[in-house]
Amino acid sequence: MSFGLIERLGSRGLEPRYRAATHGGEYAGPCPLCGGRDRFLVWPVQEGGPACAKAGVPGTWYCRQCGRGGDALQYLQDVEGLGFAEACKALRLEPPARRSGLPTPPRAPRRPAFEPRTTESPADLWRRRAAALVEKAAAALPAHPEAQAWLTARGLPPEAAARFSLGFLEGEPGRMGLIRARSAWGLEPRKKTAQDGTVTLKRTLFLPRGILIPAFDVQGAPLRLRVRRSDEDAAQWGDKYMVVEGSAMPALLAGDDPRAVVVVEAELDALAVAFAAGDLVTACAVLTNAGRPDAAAHALLSRALRILVALDFDEAGARGWSWWRETYPQARRWPVPEGKDPGDAVKLGCDLRQWVRAGLPPALTLGASESGPRVSKEPPQAVREPGPKVEIAPEILALRSLVDELRGLLRAGSLRIDKRGRQTRLRAPEEWQRANAGPYRRAWELTYICTEIREYIASHPDAVLHWWNF
């Protein structure tokens, strides 16, 4: 029997394009499940699982973004929402003893459970010195327009710099930074071994000049100081970014909505994401492509409904993605559309807010502004003048209408949507189904066929949805 995966996708408005001759012909296009634009692969003539192979029903599929895949039997269940028996009947298959998609690959050895490290705060004296340095550097930044221009080009204009306490650390005359006594920062002398084996004690602390990037704890006390040196200084000394000794190395977290997290490598990238879309997500900088979250970041990530992993778009970033995919099931790889990181993307004209919104399910963007959060410098007032009318995007209005429609059907028939099993199920009393075939059919279509509602349901924090919590 000919199934026609390409034709079935075409009927949904998706048009996979021929890409290679692999397995008799490979096609790529948008994924009907997760919305990925070009990661969905189809092999129309490849032999499927045992049940399909026995009946002569060809065709397999796989999405490299969400990891879903199977043969024609699995397609009817996952994409078109048919039950197992219905899918077998549609394909004229003899139902096998157990469900079978593609042959199950051998399981890899299970990794030990991830145990995040706990970050210890620097000494009190170090934190006091760091706080004074942050304040001084922030005050000095406006006197360095070249540093401000560099930050602005990476998505951090002056208002963002003020919000995140970015600054410019000036050097002493004739030096590329500041020299301070280690004891003044609560640091012990450090042993230094010369080439001839002579051991001396280093009693000074070097603070390089450049853009100062602080990281804070939840109380606002400094945990880390990193300096982005000028290209000229870096060319001479070889270190573009330098961490001040005594700093702690937790992940940097910035943003206001913990339901979704964007994971990046560098602190400045995280701050740019938080400035553009901090009302939608929390940005998390893990400092390297192989970096792992500390205990505080792991707790946040474990509770998040969606994690967008945007590690640098290079070979190292691709290697790092596998760990995130295995550790956090709600993670999906979400590289920037231009450049290798969010800072590069801004320089190339990318709108970070729209990039973040595109990676989130509609349930997490309802009511959010298209233009993004704004940092107000005005003092709070008891009474505010009414502002300009906010235009709500048509797609958001359409989603609200669909949500309200399904909520009404759930209430009318005492229906519920159960996400606790392998597949989402729409459950309704049998008597109501028989007496209300039309409304039940509409509820079924919204639950299983409507892409926007499917994403809304998938991102809902509750496992069972009734009309009162939908």
At 62, is the secondary structure helix, strand, or coil?
Answer: strand
Q: What are the counts of helices (DSSP H) followed by strands (DSSP E) for the chain? A: 17, 21
pLDDT, residue 88, reads 87
Of the candidates 254, 298, 251, which has an alpha carbon nearest to the alpha carbon of residue 276? 254
For residue 154, report the phi and psi dihedrals to the nearest 5 degrees. Answer: -100, 20
| Secondary-structure percent of the chain, ordered helix, strand, coil, rounded to 5 | 35, 20, 45
| Angle, helices 394-412/437-448, rounded to nearest 10 degrees | 140
Pairing state of beta strands 26-29 and 40-47?
Answer: antiparallel
**In the predicted structure, residue 137 carries a pLDDT above the cut 80:** yes
> Which among 118, 120, 294, 130 is positioned nearest to 221, based on CA atoms?
130
pLDDT-derived band at 388, boundaries 50, 70, 90:
very low
pLDDT, position 390: 41
231-281 per-position pLDDT tens digit = 998 888 778 999 999 999 999 999 988 899 999 999 999 999 999 999 999
- Report the sign of the C-alpha dihedral through residues 231, 237, 240, 242, in that order: negative
CA–CA distance, 305 with 260 (Å, rounded to integer):
6
Write b or e for each residue in 89-127: b if 16 or more Cβ atoms lie within 10 A of its Cβ, otherwise e. Answer: eebebeeeeebbbbeeeeeeeeeeeeebeebeebeeebb
Helix (H, G, I), strand (E, B) or coil at 206: strand
pLDDT at res. 371 = 64
**pLDDT of res. 223:** 95
H-helix segments, 123-266:
124-140, 145-153, 158-163, 231-237
Amino acid (1-letter code) at residue 361: P
* pLDDT computed for residue 69 by the predictor: 85
Quick one: pLDDT at residue 268? Answer: 97
Closest CA to 48 of 111, 91, 106: 91
DSSP string, 48-73: -SHHHHHHT-EEEEEETTT--EEEHH
What whole-number distance in Å separates Cα of residue 167 and Cα of residue 422?
Answer: 51
State the pLDDT at residue 349.
92
- State the pLDDT at residue 181: 96
Cβ proximity of 202 and 170 under 8 Å: no
The neighbour count for residue 43, using CB atoms within 10 Å, is 21
Average pLDDT value over all residues in the chain: 84
Confidence at 286, pLDDT banded by 50, 70, 90: very high
- Distance CA(285)–CA(77), nearest Å, equals 38
Q: What is the pLDDT of residue 313?
A: 62
Contact in structure between 265 and 311 (CB atoms under 8 Å): yes
Rounded to whole angstroms, the Cα distance separating 44 from 23 reads 9
Handedness of CA 261, 263, 268, 269 (dihedral sign): negative
Confidence of residue 1 (pLDDT cuts 50, 70, 90): low
The DSSP code for 288 is: S
What are the helix (H) ranges across 278-366? 295-303, 315-327, 342-347, 352-358
Query: Are the CB atoms for 47 and 53 separated by under 8 Å?
Result: yes
Q: How long is the chain?
A: 470
**pLDDT over 50 (residue 26):** yes
The residues pairing with 210 across neighbouring beta strands, listed in sequence order, are 169
**Structure token pair of residue 376:** 């107000």
Residue 355 has pLDDT above 50, yes or no: yes
Please check the confidence at residue 400 and state whether its pLDDT lies above 80: no
∠ CA 425-326-19, rounded to 5° = 80
pLDDT number for residue 382: 32
Its pTM surpasses 0.85: no
Place of tokens 């606002």: 220
Band the pLDDT of 162: cuts 50, 70, 90.
very high
Q: How confident is the model at residue 378 (pLDDT cuts 50, 70, 90)?
A: very low
Q: Identify the weakest region by mean pLDDT among 193-202, 313-322, 416-425, 455-464.
A: 313-322
Write down the pLDDT at residue 40. Answer: 85
